[in-house]
Amino acid sequence: MSSVTDEIKARVDLVELVGKSVALKRVGSSYSGLCPFHTEKTPSFYVSPQSQSWRCYGCGKWGTAFDWIMEREHLEFSEALRMLAAQTGVALPERHDPSEDDHARRLHSILERAQTFYSGTLHGSSGLHAREYLHNRGVSDETIQQFGLGYAPTGNGLLHYLEKDGFSEQDLQAAGVISVTEDEGRPYDFFRDRVLFPIRDSGGRTIAFGGRAMEDGVTPKYLNSRDTLLFHKQETLFAFDLARKPMAQEHQVVIVEGYMDAAMAHQHGYRNVVATLGTAVTDRHLRQLRRHVDQIVLALDADAAGQAATWRALQQADESLRVGNKPVVGPRGAERSSAPGRWVQLKVLALPNAKDPDELIRSDATAWPALVRDAVPVIDFVLQRLGSRHDLSTPQGKRAAAEEMLHVLAGIADPIEQDHFINQVASLLSTRPESIRGLLRRNPAQRTKPTTPPPTVEVRGDPHDDHLLSLLMRMRQLSMPTPSPTEVEFIRPESRAVFQSLGGSLPSELEPFARQAARKLADAERLSPRELEKELERTRLQIKRKLLLREHGEVQPLVRAPGGEAWAQRLSDLSRAINEVDQRLSGERESAGSR
């Protein structure tokens, strides 16, 4: 049967969708305009209603309605799916209890009303002290408005305010805005006499609050909402909703520790900044960010706690910031293995003469860009401070330091880079590099166990895509080198999204496509590693041919349209490229026949 994605693509008016942000002009059977992804004076961007696709012949970007939403809004595939489903009226299949949706909507409503209350209190007479506190900290009225800051007064004002709306104490407690006394079970406002920072999800909806005490002696200084159905502290980043587009445009995100750090950075124009919520950087934080950036910069406090948090972040990053596999050559040259290649770079920003980014930016906002630019790779940062964590004057301390660095060294795919850091560790520990290499050989990386696939759901995929995905899955099983996501072409956006998710968390909407590809694994398992590489190349050529033929069909009407002479050369180039692929495929067949 047709998949939900096919139904959405059939319903969506791609010209109307793209035309909301690009001025399109009809050219033959297509529509043309200036590409929104790069600067140009002559239109090279085309939308084809017939093929339900768009393409820029200048920068090379192309795709379907899903790709358009993902590129323009910096969304993941599952997010783009939900957005287009809502726009086209396509019902997504229910995968959970509908009552949970009703409960979630009720909690969202409570939190929205709570933010209205807190914001109104901040701007009322009882919020004078809180407003003075924020202004004294350098927070502008625009930032207060942008972040939706508020004030929780003393007493139970919020409880009485929300009870008037008909919400029960059980609902309010589930939303995390009230608590109950242990002795008598009496309800009371969870936040009291604190400046409040709404914590929002990626769509900008409030899911929790963070409260900051205004007096130095009050403990705790920072107080977050308890975890709820909507809010999980270990996977939430403050200001992510505001930073998502800027960090995707800059391909970089800076992680700070506090709400005020992030708010002050945004106020001064540094909008690719997010904050953890009083926790260490977790693997879920990093997996969330790696979809949007090429570089993550840690700007954690320059004290012992901040350094410990940096080390924990590196341990998380070892698994969370890798994708694909790259070869690793053993120290004797004859050995050959593979390790996941890091595709997001992790760096550390050193904070000079300041306790935190908030203080630094308020004292000299112009210094921030240079500090971010001069951030050092996290491995260098950890190595520089290895001696502060271990007594390197004793054999036991050296051994503990070496063990600590082993998984870091094992995760470096490039052999030259790995050798560089092996020598650095050996020099620091006053030992021979061969000793470190020996430890590495005795500590192979653990491989992940396959998971049991859920029940089968039929979808309409592409046979070439499915075959290519099965080959890539098999190569990952064998720890063979695989191309990066940016180097692989697919026919369908769903297939591309599945490949990008391999080794990580697979969105539920993509599970049927992944299972469909996995059904072809049996064929891939019969191939030797050398045959896998050959079959991978042949399948990629077949997909390349299919994409070239599609583009050839899109360009032909442009040649026949008024002013189409300029497209004749492009059509000729495409014909030549198709012929070259045909020759390569013919060579592959002849080579296979001679074996």
Which residues make beta-bridge pairs with 197? 210
Look at strands 322-329 and 336-342 and give their pairing. Answer: antiparallel
| 108 lies in the same domain as 188 | yes
Q: Tell me: do 202 and 129 sit in the same domain.
A: yes
Residues 128 and 214 occupy one common structural domain: yes
Please report the pLDDT score of residue 331 as a whole number.
38
**Amino acid at residue number 233:** K
Whether residue 454 lies inside any domain: the answer is no
Distance CA 357, CA 299 (A): 7
Domain termination site, one of 45, 70, 88:
88
Please give the Cα distance from 58 to 43 (Å, whole number): 9
- List Cβ neighbours of 142 (8 Å cut-off, separation of 6 or more): 267
Residues 406 and 435 placed together within one structural domain of the fold: yes
Please check whether residue 377 lies inside any domain of the structure.
no
CA 394 to chain centre: 42
Closest CA to 19 of 72, 70, 58: 72
**Per-residue confidence (pLDDT) for residue 161, from 0 to 100:** 94
What whole-number distance in Å separates Cα of residue 358 and Cα of residue 223? Answer: 18
Q: Are residues 10 and 56 in the same domain?
A: yes
**CATH number of domain containing 13:** 3.90.580.10
Q: Is 457 helix (H, G, I), strand (E, B) or coil?
A: coil
The answer to whether 492 and 516 have CB atoms below 8 angstroms apart is no
User: Does residue 134 lie in a domain region?
Assistant: yes
What is the predicted pLDDT for the residue at 206? 96
Q: What is the pLDDT of residue 448?
A: 36
Query: Cis omega before residue 377 (within 30°)?
Result: no
Where in the sequence is the domain holding 568, given as residue range(s)?
Answer: 463-594
Q: What b/e sequence results for 74-106 when a residue is b if at least 16 CB atoms lie within 10 Å of its CB, and e otherwise?
A: bbbbbbbbebbbebbebeeeeeeeeeeeeeeeb
Please report whether residue 276 resides in a domain. Answer: no
- Written as tens digits, the pLDDT of the chain (595 aa) is 346 787 888 888 899 999 998 999 988 778 899 999 888 888 889 998 878 889 888 888 888 898 898 888 877 787 888 889 888 888 876 655 555 678 888 999 999 999 999 999 999 999 999 999 999 999 999 999 999 999 999 999 999 999 998 899 999 999 999 999 878 889 999 999 999 999 999 889 999 999 999 998 888 888 999 999 899 888 899 999 999 989 988 989 999 988 999 999 999 999 999 999 877 787 778 878 877 788 999 886 655 445 555 555 655 554 455 443 333 333 333 333 444 444 578 888 878 775 689 999 999 999 999 999 999 887 887 788 788 778 899 998 898 888 878 867 876 766 787 888 899 999 999 999 999 998 888 764 433 333 343 344 445 668 899 999 999 988 888 878 888 777 888 988 888 888 877 766 666 667 778 888 888 888 888 898 889 999 999 999 999 998 888 888 877 877 777 666 767 888 888 888 899 988 888 876 656 555 5
Specify whether 77 is located in the same domain as 144. Answer: no
Return the half-sphere exposure (C-beta side, CA atoms, 13 A cut-off) of residue 276. 23
Q: Are 79 and 127 within one domain?
A: no
Q: Which residues are CB-neighbours of 203 under 8 A, at least 6 positions away? A: 241
Considering its fold, how many domains does the chain have in total? 4
CB 218 within 8 A of CB 204: no
Domain shared by 210 and 141, yes or no: yes
CATH no. for residue 204? Answer: 3.90.980.10
Dihedral sign computed on CA atoms, order 500, 502, 505, 507: positive
44, 63, 88 — which closes off a domain? 88
Residues 184 and 159 in one domain: yes
Contact between 346 and 313 under an 8 Å Cβ cutoff? The reply is: yes
Residue 22 lies in a domain: yes
Residue 535 resides in a domain:
yes
Report pLDDT for 96: 52
The pTM score is: 0.64
Residues 436 and 496 in one domain: no
Distance CA 27, CA 286 (A): 44
Is 42 exposed, middle or buried, given 0-12, 13-18 or 19+ CB atoms closer than 10 A? exposed
Q: In this structure, are 198 and 103 located in the same domain? A: yes
Q: Which of 186, 215, 231 is the last residue of a domain?
A: 231
- If asked whether residues 117 and 143 sit together in one domain, one would say yes
Domain-located, residue 141: yes
| 307 is a domain residue | no
Per the CB < 8 A criterion, the answer to whether 358 and 258 are in contact is yes
